[in-house]
Structure formats: structure tokens, C-alpha cells
Amino acid sequence: MDAAQIEVASIWESHGCRLARTIRRNLRQAGFEGDFKVVFSAEELPPAKIVTGEGHLREVTHGSAMHITASFGMQLAGLVVCGVCD
């Protein structure tokens, strides 16, 4: 929800992102020793809950907020432009 918490770092230095953690684990298992930059956010969100038809609470995954996905895209675009110019 907070675009100010978006970071760019090596995949090995990313933190607080469950997707990046899974990717790092899979890279280690595959014996990958390279490096590449990733865009991530370590922002912790409270669990999202919905009320089911029976009136029970159920935890769900947070959806995407347009301003956050746009901010991630702009960060990635900036990395590509900087990579082409170098």
C-alpha cells in the first residue's frame, strides 16, 4: 500500500517478500550462483479477512493496488533504461 517502501536490490539482498524468498530457495536448489536485481517491498500488511456466506472469517491473499503495481512497473522500466544507457 505504501509505494515509498518499494526497493531495488540484488535477489540475494531482498527481504520481507515471500515471492523473493521462494525464488532464492529455488535458485539455491538449482545451484544458481549468478545475481540480478529485483524490485520488491518489505512492507508487512495485516492479514486480509473476508466473511464467508456462513458468517465465518477466512484469511485471503491481498489483491493488487493500482498505484503499487504501477510503481513497481516504473521501477522496472527505470532499471531497463539505465541498463541500456550503461
Output the nine-digit C-alpha cell for 22.
521462494
> Residue 18's pLDDT band (boundaries 50, 70, 90)?
confident
Q: Which residue has the higher pLDDT, 7 or 60?
A: 7
Separation CA 66–CA 11 (nearest Å): 24
For the chain, give the secondary structure using H, E and C.
CCHHHEEEEEHHHCCCCHHHHHHHHHHHHCCCCCCCEEEEECCCCCCEEEECCCCCEEEECCCCCHHHHHHHHHHHHHHHHHHHHC
Q: Quick one: pLDDT at residue 65?
A: 82
| 8-25: average pLDDT | 93
For 24-72, the pLDDT digits (tens) are 999 999 999 999 999 999 888 777 777 777 877 777 776 778 888 999 9
Q: Which of 3-7, 12-16, 39-43, 44-48 has the lowest mean pLDDT?
A: 44-48
Separation CA 68–CA 54 (nearest Å): 33
